[in-house]
Amino acid sequence: MKTKELIRLLQEADPTGEIECCIDNMDIHFVDRMPAYWDGTLQLLQRDHDCKYYNVIGAKYTSRGDKIKIKYLSITDAIGADENLPIDYSEVGNAERQRDYEASDNKTRAAYRDMHRVIERDHFVRWVTKEAGKQSGDLAEIERVASTFFDANLTANDPLPPDIAMNAAISWYDRREIQWSRAFTLRYDGMDWAIEICSAPGSLTTSKEPT
C-alpha cells in the first residue's frame, strides 16, 4: 500500500485525526524510510480494487526502491527498555482486570530484571577473568569469586560516572569495563582471589536491585 492510499484510508476512518492508531493493538513507535531490501525484502500484495471484500489476487517480493516502515512498540517491549516504566491501568475496565494487567506486567518487569542481571553478571565475570589472566594465580575459582561479588555488590542498573556515560564513541560494555577498572582492584594472595572496592574518584556507587 502506497503512502497516499494509507493517508486516504486513515482520513476516511478518522476525519478528526484524533483517534489513536495501532498495529495489532500496539502503539506506533516511529515511521522510517529505508531501502526496500533493508531489514527483510519488501512483500507487496496485488489487489482487485473493484472487489469490496477480500481482494488479494497476487503478490510479489521486491528489493527495488524505498519503503516506509511503520515501527510499533508493545508495552512489554517498552518495559524491557525501562523496567520502572509507569503504566496507567485506569481505563482497562473493572478493578479485577486492572489487577490482572498489573500482575502480568510485574511478572514481565521481574523477568527483564533477572535477564539484565544475568547478562551484566556474565559480562562482569568475563572482565574479572580477563583481568585475572594478567596476573599470576590459580584461575579455577575466579568465576565463582566474580559471580559472588557481583551478586553482593552490583546490579545491572548501577549508573555510570558522568564522564564515562557521555562517551558515546565506545560501547556500553567498554564503558562498564572502564568503570569497573576504576572502581575495583583484583588481588591474589597466593591462595585466594579477592576483589577490593577502591575509594578513588569515579568509583562505582552500588545499589541493590528492587525486589
Alpha helices in 133-203 (DSSP H): 142-153, 162-165, 172-183
How many structural domains are present in the chain?
Answer: 2
Q: Is the backbone of residue 137 left (phi > 0), alpha (psi -120 to 50) or beta?
A: left
51 plus 119 within the same structural domain: no
115 plus 41 within the same structural domain: no
Place 211 in a pLDDT band, splitting at 50, 70 and 90. Answer: very low
d(C-alpha 29, C-alpha 22), whole Å = 9
Cell 577498572 belongs to residue: 181
pLDDT above 60 (res 75) = yes
Place 208 in a pLDDT band, splitting at 50, 70 and 90. Answer: very low
Model pLDDT for residues 132-161, shown as the tens digit of each residue: 998 887 888 999 999 999 999 999 989 988
Assess if residue 95 is contained within a domain: no
Strands 26-35 and 42-47: unpaired
Assess if residue 83 is contained within a domain: no
pLDDT at 207: 38
133 plus 64 within the same structural domain: no
| Average pLDDT over every residue of 18-32 | 96
pLDDT above 80 (res 53) = yes
pLDDT at 107: 97
Question: Helix, strand, or coil here: 55?
Answer: coil
DSSP summary character for residue 18: -
105 plus 192 within the same structural domain: yes
Assess if residue 10 is contained within a domain: yes
Percent of the chain exceeding pLDDT 90 equals 78
Cell numbers given for 47: 489487489
pLDDT above 70 (res 63) = yes
Assess if residue 81 is contained within a domain: no
114 plus 186 within the same structural domain: yes
176 plus 135 within the same structural domain: yes
Assess if residue 119 is contained within a domain: yes
115 plus 38 within the same structural domain: no
Higher pLDDT among residues 206 and 24, named by residue: 24
Give the chain's radius of gyration (CA, Å).
26
pLDDT at 189: 87
Contact in structure between 31 and 71 (CB atoms under 8 Å): yes
Assess if residue 129 is contained within a domain: yes
Percent of the chain exceeding pLDDT 70 equals 94
pLDDT above 90 (res 175) = yes
End-to-end CA distance of the chain: 47
107 plus 183 within the same structural domain: yes
Model pLDDT for residues 88-141, shown as the tens digit of each residue: 999 998 999 999 999 999 999 999 999 999 999 999 999 999 999 988 878 889
pLDDT above 50 (res 201) = no
Assess if residue 58 is contained within a domain: yes
Assess if residue 29 is contained within a domain: yes
In angstroms, how far is CA 58 from the centroid of its own chain? 37
Q: Which of 57, 73, 89 is the last residue of a domain?
A: 73
* Residues of the domain holding 22: 3-73
Taking Cα atoms as reference points, which of 185, 174, 132, 180 lies closest to residue 158? 180
Q: Which of 73, 88, 122 is the last residue of a domain?
A: 73
66 plus 125 within the same structural domain: no
